[in-house]
Chain A
Amino acid sequence: MNIWVYIDHFKGAPLLASWEALGLAKRLGNATAVLLGHPMEEAVQAAFEFGADAVLLADDPALADYRAEAFASTLSAAASAQTPDLLLFPTTSRGREIAAMTAADLNAGLLVDVTALEIAAGRVVATRPVYGGKALVRETCAVKPALVTLRGRAFPKPEQQIGRSGPVTRIEVRAEAQTTVEGYSTGEGVSLTDAGVIVSGGRGLTVFPGLDEKSAAARGFALLDELAAVLNGAVGASRAVVDAGHAPYAQQVGQTGKLVSPDLYIACGISGAIQHLAGMRTAKVIVAINTDAEAPIFQVARYGVVGDLYQIVPALTAALKKRLGRQ
């Protein structure tokens, strides 16, 4: 089976979920990594090190900025000429969009945010969460090629083999696009969807004796930042604190925020409303810290502490720092 994997990147730095897709492709057949952008040398090298058998490359200054139309046109042209059986993408904002447009160009089947995939009688059969994660559905695709976007962290990341390399074939660039990129304003830190560990805060973070809501939230998030730093993790938030203006929307986890599946999710002062659970219940290990023993978050958590996050979080940071030997 001839499988292409779109390597999603931001300004040449690939997102982790791209390597997870490459790992799956290797298990299913022959894995060709597709890299579009500029400059791409380092990403090409990394694609081989994470297991690509071959690379298709469009490295061109006209692709230096991501524009969906140009990326999709370049990919569609190559795919209609070379007819891969299956195209995999990470479910990132760009992966979703390029897959959507390429499927429209090729009149191909599109399966989005898949968490398990198999080939049965030559057909792609995928499983994916629907209804905010309340059910899984099996989807089948009747035509070739199938385009599939994979949920981040649902598939294992392959080992990196330093120095590995392979053949690079250049593909034709189709740079025409109707959109113009005018600029970026980027945040810092680990992206939530890539993070292996997420420490999240909710409304419980906004109540501290003697402090107004804003100062309490600032103090609470500072504690979460320290815990996340020890764990090399990212900081998330519930909608309640995002709506109140204490955290940016980019940090919101849940049905109307990010869907995340980290290895460890630490929910601090979050009640566990169904819309919040929709975004994080697939985390491998969930830890809940909440003063209310009846909070629904404890129903999905593996470990729970019924207590005050302002006391537990700094103590946990200290305990982990000691054990992990990190500063």
Chain B
Amino acid sequence: MKIVVCVKTTLPSEAQIRLEGGKLIFDNTPPVINPWDEYAVEAALQQKEAVGGTVTALSIGDESANVALKHALAMGADEAIRITDSALGALDTLATARLLAAAVQKLGGVDLVCFGRQAIDGDSGVTPAQTARLLGWPALTLASAVKIEGRRIRVERSIEEGRQIVSADLPAVLSVVKDFAEPRYPTFMGKRKADRAEIPVWSLAAPAPLVAWGEFAEPPRQTAQCEIITGASPEEIAEKLAEKILAEKIL
């Protein structure tokens, strides 16, 4: 089975962000693979282990994209390909999905494309469904359990109300949530292989984005400082706190 996993390089969630004149200034925390994509790589590797085949990692971007690709290789992916947009413009989700769908088609014979549920920078979580739609393949999103039997894939989806169990024929697109399985750590050998890997670059043409990011702003801060409620007993504290909560008129 030919499996693709789409990964992205992001800043780690601990990175600090400052704003200056509507622009974001990042601290110099080194970038990492988008944490959600580690689950996607894990899902791809588990399917390979279950039914055989290869895992190819894809990422769009400049050389920083190699961070995510090398992590995927170190976890056990067989190959990695970096995709650049020949116009080198900003991408929106649909342009991203078009590039990924084009790369999957160029690879040819792909049976399964795995994604993390979202990237922790843009937080959109729509690229998997858009890529599936452009490929004309079923989108099995928010998967917490996956089983492939022959050409049939069965998935448990995490939705607001609990779990929905769906199945489809391959090829298909999958997005994976956290309770799928803990992602494995890269092995020493895996890291060495990843360090030495020459990652090929494909230049593909992306359409102009339809949605553009403009200025950034500070998120609204809690205006009031924290008021610490004290008292002689838990009951007294609770009485005071209950009064404060009711006075907010939010219940």
Contact = CB atoms under 8 A, between A and B. Distances in A.
B31 interface: no
A230 to B, nearest CB: 10
Contact of A197 (B219, B242, B251): B251
- Among A72, A104, A137, A185: residue with most chain B CB under 10 A: A104
A136 B211 contact: no
A281 B222 CA distance: 9
Interface stretch (A26-34, A78-86, A123-131): A123-131
A100 B126 contact: yes
Interface string B116-145: 000011111111011011100111111010
B219 A134 contact: yes
A136 B216 contact: yes
Interface string A135-177: 1111111110000000000000000000000000000000001
B64 to A, nearest CB: 16
Nearest to A72: B133
Contact of A285 (B123, B137, B218, B250): B250
Contact of A68 (B14, B139, B251): B139
Contact of B161 (A110, A184, A252, A282): A184
Contact of B228 (A132, A306, A320): A306
Interface stretch (A202-210, A214-222, A309-317): A309-317
B212 A187 contact: no
A62 interface: no
Interface stretch (A38-46, A52-60, A294-302): A294-302
B230 to A, nearest CB: 8
A327 interface: no
Given A138-B215, A186-B161, A97 B141 contact: yes
A96 B133 contact: no
A194 B161 CA distance: 11
Interface residues of B, number: 82
B226 A302 contact: yes
Contacts of B54: none
A136 B160 CA distance: 25
B76 interface: no
B211 A109 contact: yes
B178 A256 contact: yes
A67 B141 CA distance: 11
Contact of B133 (A104, A286, A312): A104
A142 B212 contact: yes
Given A68-B139, A304-B226, A141 B210 contact: yes
Interface stretch (B81-89, B164-172, B184-192, B197-205): B164-172
19 contacts: A10-B159, A68-B129, A96-B125, A100-B93, A100-B130, A113-B123, A132-B13, A135-B24, A138-B215, A138-B216, A179-B138, A186-B162, A255-B13, A278-B13, A282-B219, A300-B226, A303-B227, A316-B238, A323-B246
Q: Which 8 A-B pairs have CB atoms at the shortest separation, nearest pair first? A: A315-B238, A186-B162, A100-B126, A319-B242, A100-B129, A109-B210, A249-B179, A263-B250
Given A101-B139, A302-B224, 16 more contacts: A10-B160, A93-B142, A100-B133, A112-B123, A112-B125, A132-B120, A135-B217, A137-B213, A139-B211, A140-B212, A180-B166, A185-B163, A185-B165, A284-B248, A312-B238, A312-B241
